Amino acid sequence: MPRPKILYLYSQEGKEAKVSAQTQEPRTLARERHCRTASWWQDEELRRNKVKKDKHEDKNTVTTLIGEKAKFYGVGVGPGDPKLITLRAVEILQAIQVVAIPKSKMERESVAWEIAQSHCPSGVSILELEMPMTADESILQAAWQSAAEKIEAELSQGHSVAFLTLGDPSLYSTYSYLLTILRERLEPDQIETIPGITAMAAAAARVNWPLATGDEPLIVLPGIEGLEEYEHYPNLVLMKVSRNLPEVLNHVQRTGSQAVLATRVGQAGEEIRLLDPEEVLEKVDYLSLVLCRKPQS
């Protein structure tokens, strides 16, 4: 919304003096009038935004504002700590009409939903999307297609949809697969990705650990097979280490790296500690990662 032209009448010193002389107001009063006038458009903007928010929250009355298209949002809610969700994510959730929650049959509750729930309108609709825990590509493709169709059906009815994901939507998230499908079916301005704080960033912050400095590369590995070829890199982030923990411990021993084991970052049961390569660990939680840093020579 453009600012009213009257603002410039008081923002230029020459004209400000002229108005003060004509009205015979002291210069300080003229400035107070300027402040009141300058804040008018801000108050008006806040009022308009509140009306928009109210309309979005009353889903039965207004689904989308006139002239607006329903949008698909990929919302990163952070690693698990409700305090680590971004302001933009909160802003979207406060006005959303449908929340899409990816879940596997094994999951009882969605951690992402637990984080987002307090920010959503009371009457928000929940769209649960089953995501099977399997490596079978054909099963996964079918699940992604089914989820995309359900989201598209909501959008066609004028309901904006927020797909929740832990961490950041752009890093090893189911959202990326849905994005690939829906990008072919929606207009570019109907999709918005809201970044979030990753578990590796949060873990590093908890132990005051730099992920990389200067010109150092940072390698992020979703699996931990064949770590030998990465031994010359100074900084590694190893995701999903529960699959082959002995290989991780062997890597730490071979390279003399310092390592941090982070489990369920920001969630109940969180554990973040230095990893002793000599210790015997047979099993760690599925939501675990390891930060490795070679000592500087």
Task: Give the number of other Cβ atoms within 10 Å of residue 180's Cβ.
Answer: 11
| 121 inside domain | yes
In sequence order, the 6+-apart residues with CB closer than 8 A to the CB of 20 are: 26, 27, 29, 30
Within this chain, do residues 169 and 244 fall inside the same structural domain, yes or no?
no
Which of 148, 173, 197 represents a domain boundary (last residue)?
Answer: 197
pLDDT at 30: 44
pLDDT at 63: 43
pTM of the model: 0.75
> For residue 110, which amino acid is it?
S
The token duo for 172 is: 């090893």
Which of 134, 169, 197 represents a domain boundary (last residue)?
Answer: 197
Q: Burial-class residue 48 by CB neighbours within 10 Å (0-12, 13-18, 19+).
A: exposed
- What value does the mean pLDDT of the chain take? 82
**Residue whose tokens read 């908890």:** 206
Domain of 139? 72-197
pLDDT surpasses 70 at 297: no
pLDDT surpasses 50 at 76: yes
Q: Of 238, 239, 76, which Cα lies nearest the Cα of 166? A: 76
pLDDT surpasses 70 at 91: yes
pLDDT surpasses 50 at 219: yes
Report the run of H or E that residue 239 belongs to, with start and end.
strand 235-239
pLDDT at 49: 52
Coil vs helix vs strand at 29: helix
Q: Kindly report the length of the chain.
A: 297
Which of 135, 164, 197 represents a domain boundary (last residue)?
Answer: 197
pLDDT at 61: 32
Within this chain, do residues 190 and 219 fall inside the same structural domain, yes or no?
no
Which residues are bridge partners to 221 per DSSP?
238
CB 197 within 8 A of CB 167: yes
Q: Stretch 20-39: mean pLDDT, rounded?
A: 44
pLDDT surpasses 50 at 39: no
pLDDT at 58: 45
156/283: higher pLDDT: 156
| 171 inside domain | yes
Q: Stretch 249-270: mean pLDDT, rounded?
A: 93
Within this chain, do residues 78 and 185 fall inside the same structural domain, yes or no?
yes
In sequence order, the 6+-apart residues with CB closer than 8 A to the CB of 139 are: 132
DSSP-derived letter for residue 3 is P
Percent of the chain beyond pLDDT 90? 60
How many domains does the chain fold into?
3
Q: Stretch 180-187: mean pLDDT, rounded?
A: 96
pLDDT at 281: 76
pLDDT at 196: 98
pLDDT surpasses 60 at 18: no
